[in-house]
Structure 1
Amino acid sequence: MKLAPIPQLNLQIVASNSTTEQLVNLWVHGKSKNTQKLYRRVSGLLLGMIGKAANYLTLADLQNFADTLELRGLSTSSRRTYIAVVKSLLTFGHKTGLIQVNAGAALNTPKPKDTLSQKILTEAEVKMLIASEPCDRNRLIFKVFYYAGLRVSELCGLNWEDLTSNGESGQLLIYGKGDKTRVVLLPLPLYRELLNSRSDAGNLEPIFKSRKKSDGGRLNPISVTQMVKVAAVRVGLSDKASAHWLRHCHASHALNRGAPIHLLSQTLGHASVATTSKYLHAKPNDSSGLYLM
């Protein structure tokens, strides 16, 4: 009996796929779970859409990818994130020698419209949003967002061991963006309110628990964002509101009340004061036009 011929493997393709997998694994190593998930998703979308291994990508390929994202209706902010991830992948690959030419270096990143001012509520609106929340846990979550200036992922990751005393009040140890840690001091009333909500929870338990057993007792960032949105609509505010808006409000209101910008930068966990300075222009207290009336 004549045996069927053994199919010949394209060794170049096999090698390319192996190199790409190796590149992605090295690239995401040591990053947070959320970052790894995003990076793998975006790189998978890119390579699947173009149909090439990472070391064969050209600038034209990347521009086609960017155009496709726009045609699919992704927001400028989302496209900016996707392209930043792609550029990060190719830059890393070039540094490690797994990619000979970094085509991403010449890829333009979309410039988003500055809508920060539209995401900053007045102090009265923030207080109204908090006071109108009927759920004690949710109301306390809103207070921590506002008074501590946290990101959603940072709040969801808080355990009771991260809350400690500091003189008469207390502080939170925050595990932030880029796996950086920082300490945020709390107003005394908020610290006491958190302590009173603890009950018999252990040190490794989440400060804010999820009611869903499927989440392992930890809040989901998407659920928290929706929580703020529902609360905002309840009091007649924008239906586009999110948990991050309360972080923006913290920054703007603190600066308006005289907080030093370097201190705000430390509290928010920004890499530089330059990032924090955007809040100086978002809701100005004065403008030259006011002198013309």
Structure 2
Amino acid sequence: MDTPFQSFLEHIRYEKRLSHHTLTAYGADLEQFGAFLQKDFGLENAGAANHLQIRAWIVSLVESGLDKTSVNRKIATLRTYFGYLTRRKVIEADPTLKIQALKTSKKLPVYVEEKPMETLLDEVEFPEDFAGLRDKLVLELLYGTGIRLAELVGLQTSDVNLYERTITVLGKRNKHRIVPITASLFSLIQNYLQAKQTELGPKADDIYLIVSDQGNKAYPVLIQRIVKKYLNVVTTLEKKSPHVLRHTFATHLLNRGADLNAIKDLLGHSSLAATQIYTHNSIEKLKKAYDQAHPKAK
């Protein structure tokens, strides 16, 4: 990777404090962009690219069959990169100012209806051992707090305040937020911690809250498997992931009258715009109720 890319990636890593996943994605995007410029235009310095060359790359991505959302993410990477070069006065003008994102159709967040979630958490029987308690806690935490997969995996035992009934979540850009937990979730955490100590003993990681059957810190694939396994019991949704439970948390709160700003803070969104997408689910629900009940709807 060339020096301009390296210096930019160090900037977003140490100053912007973006996640490792985002850092890796930015690096891959820039490497791909640089390789395209070198192959098609003989341009060694990606920072010297003009808007026509950037457009040519975008066209090549679309023609390769890459979906518009992914293309727009790569455009966002270039905006951040060239914005950085402009601020550092490496280049005089930002070529991405002449680039527009591709128009995409808005996809509503996928979520589980309330009844299936009630069935899952209140009626489905979990094994009465450590693994069963762990699996139930994973589902209750994701649905009961709306935390992200990475936030759950990184949740430490010390982040749980059983006295205040809250958890402290380390979110994106290393920002902390406090999320309340219900009385039932409070009891479940207590039972889980006891089982963790009794069944796993000293071999269990005592730093991180969620651990594997062997007592090691939980990893993303383990959480994904747990979620998919149990959602398969109660829903036919094609997508069954931890993020679906995050969407479910937000949608159910909104449907029951929670303030949008409060949901924003609970989710750890940096702006209200990211949270407003859940209002579309509520509007669709209202339309469905109207179509079913109003005499003139047909």
Question: SS at 2:286's partner residue?
Answer: coil
Question: SS at 2:138's partner residue?
Answer: helix
Partner of 2:7: 22
Correspondence 1:63 to 2:55? yes
**Is the deviation greater in 234-243 or in 185-194?**
234-243
2:133 to 111, 136, 144: 136
Residue pair 2:155, 2:210 contacting (<8 A) in 1 also: yes
How far off its partner does 1:226 sit? 4.3
* Paired amino acid for 2:217: R
**Is the deviation greater in 154-163 or in 204-213?**
204-213
Residue pair 1:151, 1:247 contacting (<8 A) in 2 also: yes
Q: How does 1:270-281 map to 2 (within 5 A)?
A: 270-281=269-280
**Is the deviation greater in 180-189 or in 195-204?**
195-204
Partner of 1:13: none
1:114 to 103, 106, 109: 106
Partner of 2:79: 87
For 2:103 and 2:148, the matched residues in 1 are separated by 23
How far off its partner does 1:133 sit? 7.3
Question: SS at 1:197's partner residue?
Answer: helix
How far off its partner does 1:47 sit? 1.4
Partner of 1:269: 268
For 2:176 and 2:108, the matched residues in 1 are separated by 25
How far off its partner does 1:17 sit? 3.6
For 1:133 and 1:95, the matched residues in 2 are separated by 57
* Paired amino acid for 2:27: R
How far off its partner does 1:195 sit? 2.2
2:157 to 137, 160, 164: 160
So what's the TM-score if we normalise by structure 2?
A: 0.80
For 1:69 and 1:159, the matched residues in 2 are separated by 41
Residue pair 1:148, 1:186 contacting (<8 A) in 2 also: yes
Partner of 1:4: none
For 2:56 and 2:27, the matched residues in 1 are separated by 20
For 1:286 and 1:24, the matched residues in 2 are separated by 45
* Paired amino acid for 1:126: M
For 1:124 and 1:112, the matched residues in 2 are separated by 32
How far off its partner does 1:129 sit? 4.2
1:114-150 Cα deviation digits (max 9, x unpaired): 2225x02211122334454744322211111111011
- Structure 1 gap segments, 5+ residues each: 1-15
* Paired amino acid for 2:90: L
For 2:183 and 2:256, the matched residues in 1 are separated by 18
For 1:223 and 1:77, the matched residues in 2 are separated by 27
- Shift in alpha-carbon separation, 1:257–1:209, aligned structure 2, 3 A: same
For 2:281 and 2:181, the matched residues in 1 are separated by 25
How far off its partner does 1:153 sit? 1.2
Partner of 1:12: none
Partner of 1:104: 96
Question: SS at 1:110's partner residue?
Answer: coil
Partner of 1:210: 212
How far off its partner does 1:166 sit? 4.2
- Shift in alpha-carbon separation, 1:88–1:190, aligned structure 2, 3 A: same
Residue pair 2:86, 2:94 contacting (<8 A) in 1 also: yes
So what's the TM-score if we normalise by structure 1?
A: 0.81
Partner of 1:176: 171
Residue pair 1:91, 1:102 contacting (<8 A) in 2 also: yes
Question: SS at 1:183's partner residue?
Answer: strand
For 2:188 and 2:76, the matched residues in 1 are separated by 40
Residue pair 1:160, 1:207 contacting (<8 A) in 2 also: yes
- Shift in alpha-carbon separation, 1:204–1:39, aligned structure 2, 3 A: farther
**Is the deviation greater in 130-139 or in 187-196?**
130-139
- Shift in alpha-carbon separation, 1:227–1:196, aligned structure 2, 3 A: closer
- Shift in alpha-carbon separation, 1:166–1:107, aligned structure 2, 3 A: farther
For 2:223 and 2:149, the matched residues in 1 are separated by 7
Question: SS at 2:274's partner residue?
Answer: helix
1:58-93 Cα deviation digits (max 9, x unpaired): 222222322333333333332222221221111112
Residue pair 2:179, 2:266 contacting (<8 A) in 1 also: yes
Question: SS at 2:60's partner residue?
Answer: helix
Instruction: Tell me the number of residue pairs that the alignment of Structure 1 and Structure 2 aligns.
Output: 272
Question: SS at 2:212's partner residue?
Answer: coil
Sequence identity of aligned pairs in percent?
22
For 2:25 and 2:253, the matched residues in 1 are separated by 32
Partner of 2:41: none
